[in-house]
Amino acid sequence: MLSILVIHGPNLNLLGLREPGIYGSTTLDSITRQLKETADALQVTLSSLQSNHEGVLVDTIHAALGQHQGIVINAGAYTHTSVALRDAIAGVAIPTVEVHLSNLYRRETFRHHSYIAPVAIGQISGFGADSYRLGLYALVHYLKQAQ
């Protein structure tokens, strides 16, 4: 059975409270529940982690090696700043899908650049909480095609 790791970066623990006009009113717990239901329907296992600390996220990506076949990541603000996360994803070479709640390209110019995108198999943004579900579907489809 495929195992997928979902990583939530900084400030995503505040979903439902933080800037609902941009990020919506869905909480991280609700997103996690929805993803687990989707994973069950896709017959894959799912693990998730949220951290506001870059090193914890890097360590989690490293620990995924040999444990998970795919990663769905919303690196939050680290998307635009973290070479360390980019290098961790490239280093473990686990197929990764980058997701974002908002459409990065309709926001501030500094959000238009992603360090993650060049090492991800794809990026989904702008569909609110559904971005995670769509990312999971895309990743599982990719992994099953590769088998």
Handedness of CA 82, 88, 91, 93 (dihedral sign): negative
Q: Which residues are known binding-site members for substrate?
A: 74, 80, 87, 101-102, 111
The residues annotated with a catalytic role in the active site are 23, 100
Please give the pLDDT value at position 38. Answer: 97
Q: Hey, what are 75's tokens?
A: 């690196």
- Using DSSP's 3-state secondary structure scheme, residue 123 falls into strand
Q: Is the pLDDT of residue 23 over 80?
A: no
2-6, 16-20, 27-31: which range is least confident on average?
A: 16-20
**Strand ranges for 23-138 from DSSP E:** 45-50, 70-74, 96-100, 122-125
Going from the N-terminus, what domains does the chain have, and what CATH number goes with each?
A: 3-146 (3.40.50.9100)
Please state the pTM of the whole predicted model.
0.94
Average pLDDT of the residues in 7-21: 87
The amino acid occupying position 92 is V
pLDDT digits (tens, 9 = 90+) for 108-121: 888 889 999 999 99
Average pLDDT over residues 88-111: 92
